[in-house]
């Protein structure tokens, strides 16, 4: 007897309420969580029936743990249940006839599915049911997350079901935990079960509906109480004992092959015709161990627990071996090959391991051609494991490199690194310099410091052993050696290796060698003095792209030009280069090109003061970099939060990760450390600021990576002045002066812009006692930032100009300073730059009243002069730290100062100490 639906009234009511919300335009995701057999699928099916009764279409898909299941399987099944015509891209996905989107195309595919489902839901609403999400592949879960975020106002409800213990990823939406049945609910679900029996069953099954049903079946079959098993596999074993031996054999074989039963494959494995195999299974259908889903002709196990219970006593390896043998003749079918490879690998010692490696490699190559890098990586991993003791060292190394490239294609950088290390060990053991060089080139764009150190050793070793004559490999290795020298800040190696690589690539006239040599040269010229040359290098890469027809070359050619133009202050031209990147990124459908585009767009929005929009783009960059496992890009995007917070006065979030990251000691992170020190100073923690400031490489140090040197010295200037380090401010002035006509922007990745270099030059000039020179620099900064549309830095330059004019004190300077301060305040308020707006307002007040401090402000100034921190001042003055911070800012503004050290000097001159 089929149990009635019972015990889920509250959960069903919640689902119906969420459907009502969806029909009102508030889309949702509800995930039913519970152990196997708890009734997740039954609840989802009952809800789907109710939705259908309300004329709301229902699409259903589910996951599987069977060997060879392709990516996006639950979405393929759901799309197949759509009654109308699908768009071409989704029809290809549903049918499996088109290439599977590679990881970098996931965003575009997820967006296409989201837009289609949102449009499909527009009229009648739509429900999508996805079962067994614990077996979902990563791309399927990412698509679900994308749908939850980007279809929030669709008339759509997604209901998922999963086993929490078997799912390591976090699912979006609302989690609905299913509990076990009570004895009363068992009585309702299974009429005729006495209350005492129901209570005993619930106690032994812990309310699990599936176990309850099985235990009641056993009781009704007359099994004695002491023989009734307490676990479902024992129940299944007892039921199997009543089946004919042929049926039990077929069930065991079918359990190995998967929940869904392929009659032809089962027959081949069993050595009987497919029809005979189905006949053998008929008793299991009658007993309820197998079922024939409504609207389908095939059979499947009634529940995964049934299949799992059957598998306990099965020699699965032998069945997998027979399945591989049965499928071998169909290896030419691209839909069969992955399944064949999965069975061959799972056969283990029962199969031919050499054949298993061969099938797995062929299937992995097919997956790579289809851009399904996760599938390729999984198959290569299986091949690597099966190859132990089967392949020779050279073949194993080739296999490891192929597996590493697949991992890299799937953005599993740590996994790719581990495989490269193993391949390098084999290459070195064999004394094969060319092979070691190939290993060094697998991950050319990774910027993790430890990895670059390791790769640098491989490049050096390989180059020393290779023939010194021109070759593509030698040119590419020289380029990679130059790349590894960037973060090590080995300028000599960077310059020499990049120049030698480019000269050799030009002689070879090989597009691949030219591409990498130009990239190395671009890094070598990433300092402020190389901006014009980088502009030319970008044009040269675009010329290479015309020959290579590689959109990646087009991408980087425009990005290099964008970086150079931003540093040259040609902002409008830079934006035009970025506009040319947009269609390339759309074509590539990759998260990493998207990440670079986001960075450029952020720099423009940030430079123009559109901070809220910029922050949204940066948060997308944080997500993309984190998902790709790009540690450097992830840390950079999170560090940008500090820079934005300094401008707006908002929160930079939890910065524990930054303070505890061991890589913050690297010269590569100096710019982020300077930003953090500035934020600490703004918050009144001068001691913390000094500690981070002291940890920076010395001004002009050769240890500073060239692409961060210009912004670092510009930011250091302000820090040095505010911390009373006038000697360093003077050094910064000398370093920045040759680049006065540039903008404060990095040279290899224009992540932010802080406007004209004249701004920090004016700060340094004023701090070193040259107010007239400071005025000229700030006037130039105002004019340049106005001309290029960089409103925040124009406002900041006006504020600094007001301070310089006040310090100079010529006739008419006070009136001009007051006008500049007021204009700075207006601009800052319009842009949401709260700290600058307040400082400009205070400066204007000080200019009006001659800088007279209130009694409380005088007291705070005296305590600052005594060297107390804001916290110590707050304790002594019995006020909050925030109030102290406000008073300090007022004192600075009224006196026309920029740092606490200037307050201390003023206190000493006034005899207030």
Report the alpha-carbon distance of residue 894 to residue 880 in Å, rounded. 21
User: What would the CATH number be for the domain defined by 851-913?
Assistant: 1.10.10.10
Report the alpha-carbon distance of residue 434 to residue 466 in Å, rounded. 7
Q: What pLDDT, on the 0 to 100 scale, is given for residue 311? A: 84
300: which DSSP letter? Answer: E
H or E segment to which residue 76 belongs = helix 73-80
Residues 6+ apart with CB under 8 A from 794: 755, 781, 782, 785, 786, 827
List the structure tokens of 858: 């005088």
Report the alpha-carbon distance of residue 531 to residue 175 in Å, rounded. 53
8 Å CB contact between 797 and 759: yes
8 Å CB contact between 753 and 744: yes
**Locus of tokens 């600058």:** 836
654: which DSSP letter? Answer: -
Could you tell me the mean pLDDT of each successive run of 10 residues in the chain, 913 residues long? Answer: 64 93 94 84 91 94 85 93 89 76 72 94 95 91 92 94 79 88 73 77 67 71 51 72 91 92 93 94 86 75 75 88 94 91 92 93 89 85 90 93 86 86 95 95 80 92 95 96 84 93 96 94 94 96 93 94 97 96 83 87 96 93 76 80 91 78 65 88 83 91 90 95 91 97 93 96 94 97 98 97 91 94 97 93 83 82 86 87 82 76 77 72
Q: What pLDDT, on the 0 to 100 scale, is given for residue 217? A: 73
Q: What pLDDT, on the 0 to 100 scale, is given for residue 47? A: 93
- CATH classification of 240-314, choosing from 1.10.10.10, 1.20.1510.10, 1.20.120.550, 3.30.420.40? 1.10.10.10
Q: What pLDDT, on the 0 to 100 scale, is given for residue 666? A: 62
Q: What pLDDT, on the 0 to 100 scale, is given for residue 663? A: 59
- CATH classification of 395-524, choosing from 2.30.130.10, 1.25.40.10, 3.40.190.10, 1.20.1090.10? 1.25.40.10
Q: Quick check: do 240-314 and 851-913 share a fold?
A: yes
665: which DSSP letter? Answer: G
Q: What pLDDT, on the 0 to 100 scale, is given for residue 834? A: 93
551-558: Cβ within 8 A, 24+ apart: 551/584, 551/587, 551/588, 552/588, 552/593, 553/511, 553/515, 554/584, 555/581, 555/584, 555/585, 555/588, 555/593, 555/596, 556/519, 558/584
Helix, coil or strand: residue 644: helix
- What phi, psi does 539 have (nearest 5°)? -65, -40
Helix, coil or strand: residue 501: helix
- CATH classification of 9-177, choosing from 3.30.565.10, 3.60.21.10, 3.40.50.300, 3.40.50.20? 3.40.50.300
Q: What angle, 0 to 180 degrees and rounded to 10, lies between the N-to-C axes of helices 88-95 and 73-80?
A: 110
Which residue spans within 399-546 are E strands per DSSP? Answer: none
8 Å CB contact between 277 and 247: no
160: which DSSP letter? Answer: E
Q: What pLDDT, on the 0 to 100 scale, is given for residue 702? A: 87
Report the alpha-carbon distance of residue 821 to residue 806 in Å, rounded. 11
Per domain, the residue ranges of the chain are: 9-177, 183-230, 240-314, 395-524, 591-641, 851-913
Report the alpha-carbon distance of residue 516 to residue 501 in Å, rounded. 8
Residues 6+ apart with CB under 8 A from 839: 799, 889, 892, 893
Q: What is the Cα gyration radius of the chain?
A: 34
Q: What pLDDT, on the 0 to 100 scale, is given for residue 226? A: 43
């Amino acid at each position: 007897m089929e149990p009635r639906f019972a015990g889920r009234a509250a959960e069903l009511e919640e689902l119906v309420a969420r459907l009502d919300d969806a029909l009102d335009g508030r889309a949702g995701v509800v995930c039913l969580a519970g152990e196997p057999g708890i009734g997740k699928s039954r609840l989802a099916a009952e809800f789907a029936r109710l939705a259908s009764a309300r004329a709301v279409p229902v699409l259903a898909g589910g996951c599987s743990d069977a060997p060879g299941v392709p990516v996006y399987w639950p979405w393929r099944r759901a799309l197949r249940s759509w009654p109308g015509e699908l768009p071409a891209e989704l029809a290809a996905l549903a049918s499996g006839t088109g290439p599977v989107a590679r990881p970098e195309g996931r965003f575009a595919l997820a967006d296409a599915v989201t837009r289609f489902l949102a449009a499909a839901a527009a009229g009648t609403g739509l429900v999508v049911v996805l079962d067994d999400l614990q077996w979902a592949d990563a791309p399927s879960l990412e698509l679900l997350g994308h749908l939850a975020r980007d279809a929030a106002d669709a008339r759509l409800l997604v209901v998922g079901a999963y086993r929490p213990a078997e799912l390591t990823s976090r699912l979006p939406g609302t989690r609905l935990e299913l509990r076990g049945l009570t004895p009363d609910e068992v009585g309702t679900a299974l009429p005729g079960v006495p209350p005492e029996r129901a209570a005993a069953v619930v106690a032994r099954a812990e309310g699990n509906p599936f176990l309850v049903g099985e235990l009641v079946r056993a009781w009704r079959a007359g099994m004695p109480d002491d023989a009734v098993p307490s676990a479902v596999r024992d129940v299944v074993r007892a039921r199997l004992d009543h089946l004919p031996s042929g049926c039990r054999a077929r069930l065991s074989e079918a359990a190995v092959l998967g929940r869904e039963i392929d009659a032809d494959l089962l027959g081949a494995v069993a050595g009987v015709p497919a029809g005979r195999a189905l006949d053998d299974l008929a008793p299991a259908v009658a007993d309820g161990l197998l079922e024939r889903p409504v609207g389908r002709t095939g059979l499947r196990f009634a529940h995964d627990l049934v299949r799992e219970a059957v598998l306990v006593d099965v020699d699965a390896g032998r069945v997998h071996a027979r399945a591989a043998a049965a499928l071998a003749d169909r290896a030419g079918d691209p839909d069969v090959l992955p399944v064949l490879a999965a069975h061959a690998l799972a056969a283990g010692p029962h199969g031919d391991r050499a054949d298993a490696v061969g099938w797995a490699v062929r299937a992995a190559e097919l997956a790579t051609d289809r851009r399904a890098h996760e599938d390729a990586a999984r198959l290569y991993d299986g091949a690597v494991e099966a190859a132990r003791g089967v392949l020779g060292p050279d073949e194993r190394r080739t296999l490891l490199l192929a597996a590493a490239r697949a991992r890299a294609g799937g953005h599993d950088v740590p996994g790719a690194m581990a495989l490269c290390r193993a391949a390098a060990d084999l290459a070195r053991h064999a004394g094969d310099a060319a092979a070691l060089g190939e290993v060094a080139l697998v991950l050319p764009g990774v910027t993790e410091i430890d990895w670059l150190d390791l790769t640098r050793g491989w490049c050096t070793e390989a180059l020393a052993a290779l023939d010194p004559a021109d070759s593509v490999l030698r040119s590419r290795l020289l380029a990679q050696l130059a790349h590894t020298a960037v973060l090590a800040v080995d300028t000599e190696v960077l310059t020499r290796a990049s120049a030698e690589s480019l000269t050799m690539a030009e002689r070879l006239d090989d597009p691949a060698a030219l591409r990498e040599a130009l990239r190395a040269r671009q890094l070598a010229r990433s300092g402020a003095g190389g901006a014009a040359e980088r502009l030319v290098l970008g044009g040269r890469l675009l010329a290479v792209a015309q020959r290579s027809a590689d959109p990646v070359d087009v991408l980087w050619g425009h990005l290099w030009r964008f970086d150079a133009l931003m540093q040259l202050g040609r902002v409008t031209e830079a934006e035009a280069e970025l506009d040319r990147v947009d269609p390339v990124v759309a074509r590539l459908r990759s998260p990493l090109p998207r990440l670079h585009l986001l960075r450029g767009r952020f720099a423009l929005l940030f430079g123009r003061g559109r901070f809220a929009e910029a922050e949204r783009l940066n948060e997308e960059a944080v997500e993309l970099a984190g998902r790709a496992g790009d540690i450097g890009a992830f840390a950079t995007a999170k560090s940008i939060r500090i820079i934005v917070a300094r401008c707006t006065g908002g929160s930079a979030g939890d910065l524990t990760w930054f303070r505890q990251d061991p890589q913050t000691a690297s010269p590569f992170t100096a710019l982020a450390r300077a930003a953090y020190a500035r934020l600490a100073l703004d918050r009144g923690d001068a001691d913390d600021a000094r500690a981070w400031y002291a940890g920076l490489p010395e001004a002009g140090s050769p240890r500073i990576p060239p692409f961060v040197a210009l912004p670092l010295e510009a930011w250091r200037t302000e820090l040095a002045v505010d911390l009373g380090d006038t000697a360093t401010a003077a050094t910064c002035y000398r370093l920045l002066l040759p680049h006065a006509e540039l903008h404060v922007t990095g040279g290899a990745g224009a992540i932010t812009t802080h406007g004209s270099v004249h701004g920090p030059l004016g700060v340094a000039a004023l701090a070193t006692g040259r107010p007239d020179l400071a005025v000229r620099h700030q006037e130039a900064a105002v004019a340049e930032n106005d001309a290029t549309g960089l409103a925040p830095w124009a406002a900041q330059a006006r504020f600094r100009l007001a301070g310089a004019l006040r310090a100079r004190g010529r006739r008419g300077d006070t009136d001009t300073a007051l006008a500049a301060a007021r204009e700075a305040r207006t601009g800052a308020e319009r842009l949401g730059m709260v700290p600058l707006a307040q400082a400009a307002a205070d400066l204007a007040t000080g200019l009006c009243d001659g800088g007279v401090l209130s009694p409380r402000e005088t007291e705070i100034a005296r305590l600052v002069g005594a060297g107390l921190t804001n916290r110590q001042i707050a304790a002594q003055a019995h006020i909050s730290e925030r109030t102290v911070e406000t008073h300090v800012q007022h004192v600075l503004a009224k006196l026309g100062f920029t740092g606490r050290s200037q307050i201390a000097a003023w206190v000493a001159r006034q005899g207030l100490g």
